[in-house]
């Protein structure tokens, strides 16, 4: 497989590993947004969150929780983000969670600042969206 994260898991590519379980791995991002920017990945290859097994999902998010706590030695706040698919900004098609230490001078805003074109939905549109999502098996 040509996946960079799979190569990190196998040891073919080195990484600054911070924490590891049998199912997940946390390491410093090679192109950090802030000091301490960490990626948490499942060791098994999955393209999207919904593809993951229940056990790998539980392990991944427990590892995210642990890493977020450990990063409080750098900053008291962190941004936790997942790009789930190419259109969302996922560059590497292997599930990965960004845990980014934040501070008031880092220049980034809340998630709402990312979206310039925000929809103005009425109650009917909310109901339509709700039905579509609830009926999707």
pLDDT of residue 137 exceeding 80: no
**pLDDT confidence of 107, banded at 50, 70, 90?**
confident
Q: What is the mean pLDDT of the chain?
A: 94
Nearest one of 68, 77, 3 to 42, comparing CA atoms? 3
Q: What is the mean pLDDT of residues 55-66?
A: 98
In three-state secondary structure terms, 28 is strand
Q: How is residue 1 written in tokens?
A: 């497989």
Dist. CA 120–CA 116, nearest whole Å = 12
Mean pLDDT of 3-21: 97
Complete domains list, the chain, with CATH: 4-135 (3.30.428.10)
What confidence tens digit (pLDDT) does each residue in 24-53 have? Answer: 999 999 999 999 999 999 999 999 999 999
Q: Which of 45, 96, 98, 112 is catalytic?
A: 96
Among this protein's residues, is 83 annotated catalytic? no
What pTM, to 2 d.p., does this model score? 0.91
């Amino acid at each position: 497989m040509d996946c960079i994260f799979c190569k990190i898991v196998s040891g073919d590519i080195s990484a600054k590993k911070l924490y590891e379980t049998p199912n997940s791995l946390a390491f410093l991002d090679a192109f950090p947004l802030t000091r301490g920017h960490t990626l948490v990945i499942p060791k098994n290859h999955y393209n999207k969150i919904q593809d993951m097994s229940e056990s790998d999902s539980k392990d991944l998010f427990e590892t995210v929780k642990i890493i977020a706590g450990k990063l409080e030695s750098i900053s008291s706040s962190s941004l936790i983000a997942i790009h789930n698919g190419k259109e969302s900004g996922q560059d590497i098609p292997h599930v990965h969670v960004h845990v980014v230490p934040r501070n008031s001078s880092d220049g980034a805003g809340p998630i709402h600042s990312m979206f310039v074109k925000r929809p103005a939905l009425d109650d009917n549109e909310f109901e339509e969206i709700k039905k579509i999502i609830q009926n999707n098996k």
